[in-house]
Amino acid sequence: MLKEKTCFDIAGLTIELETEVPMAITENFLPFQKKREKADVVFKYSVCEKLREIFGTTLYSRIEYDVVRGADGQIFRVHKDPRDDGRIYAVSYMEAERAEVCINLLKGSEEHFDNTNNSFFHAGWEQFFIQKGRIILHASLVKTEFGGLIFSGVSGIGKSTQAKLWETLETATQINGDRPILYKNAEKWMGCGSPYAGSSECYVNEQVPVRMILLLRQGMECRIARLPMAKAFKEIFQNCTVYSWNREYVENVANLVAELICDVPVYSLTCRPDRSAVEIVKEELKKEYVL
C-alpha cells in the first residue's frame, strides 16, 4: 500500500508522519509543515486485519485508551472507541532505539486517523517531546522587546488576558495561548509555538528566548515578587504535561523544571486586567535585563 510522508517542525524537532491513510493537515498544523528531511522521530501508521493482543499491567485507564506495560517492559497504548462499547481499534508503542512510534490501526477504523489532530493524539506525541528534553507547559507565551514572557496558572486565571494586554499596549506578539513548548539549547531556554493553543487559536511557528515566567493570581492590587525555588518548582511542575503513570517521564520533567527555574526568573504576579499589570512587569524586567 502506498505510504504518504509528511514532515513537521515543532520546537526544534522534525517529526515525520508515515501513513497508509489519507490524512488532512488541519489548520493548526499548517504553520509547522516543512519539506522532508531527516526526522528526529517517525510516527508510523499501519493498517492491519487484526490487532495483536496486549497482556500486562494496566498503568492508566481512561475512556479513550488504556496504558499497559507488557511483560518485557514495553509500554503500549490500547485505544478504545467509547461510541462502540469500548471496542479496541488501535495499539501504539514507541521504539526508542529506532526513534519510531508505531501505531497499528484495525482496518475499518481509518476515520480515527483522517487528520493530523487525530493522528498526533494516537501517537502520544508528548512522550517523545519529554524524552527529547522538552517541557509542555499550560501557559501563554508572548514575544516582547525583552524576549519571551510566559504567563502560567490555573485555567481561567487570566493568561490570555495578560497576553492580549501586551499585544495591545506594547510591541508584542502572542506565540501560543495554551501549550507552548520549552527547551534549552546550547545557551538558553527557548519558548516555542505549538499546534495546540486552545481557544486562543494562536499557532505561530516561532521560538523566542524565555526571559521571565509569571505565575498569575487575581487581586485588586498589582504586586510582583520573585518566588523561592521550592514554590516556583511546585507551581510550574503542576502546570506541565506529565505522564504520572511513567516514573521515567515524571523524573525527566522534574529535572527539566529544576534546571529551568535555576536559569529563568520566576515571579508571582497578582494583578488586574489593565495597564498596571503590564507596567509592573516592565519595571521588573528592566531590573533583570538591560535592553
Determine which of 33-37, 58-62, 103-107, 115-119 has the lowest per-residue pLDDT on average. 33-37
Is a pLDDT exceeding 80 seen at residue 236? yes
pLDDT at residue 241, as a whole number:
92
pLDDT at residue 262, as a whole number:
96
Is a pLDDT exceeding 70 seen at residue 289? no
Model confidence at 158, pLDDT cuts 50, 70, 90, reads confident
**Backbone Cα Rg of the chain:** 20
Model confidence at 2, pLDDT cuts 50, 70, 90, reads low
What is the per-residue pLDDT across 52-111, written as a single tens digit (0 to 9) for each? 999 999 999 999 999 999 988 899 999 999 999 999 999 999 987 778 999 999 999 999
Average pLDDT, the chain: 92
**Which domains occur in the chain, in start order?**
4-131 (no CATH), 135-288 (3.90.228.20)
What is the per-residue pLDDT across 124-138, written as a single tens digit (0 to 9) for each? 999 889 999 999 999
pLDDT at residue 36, as a whole number:
77
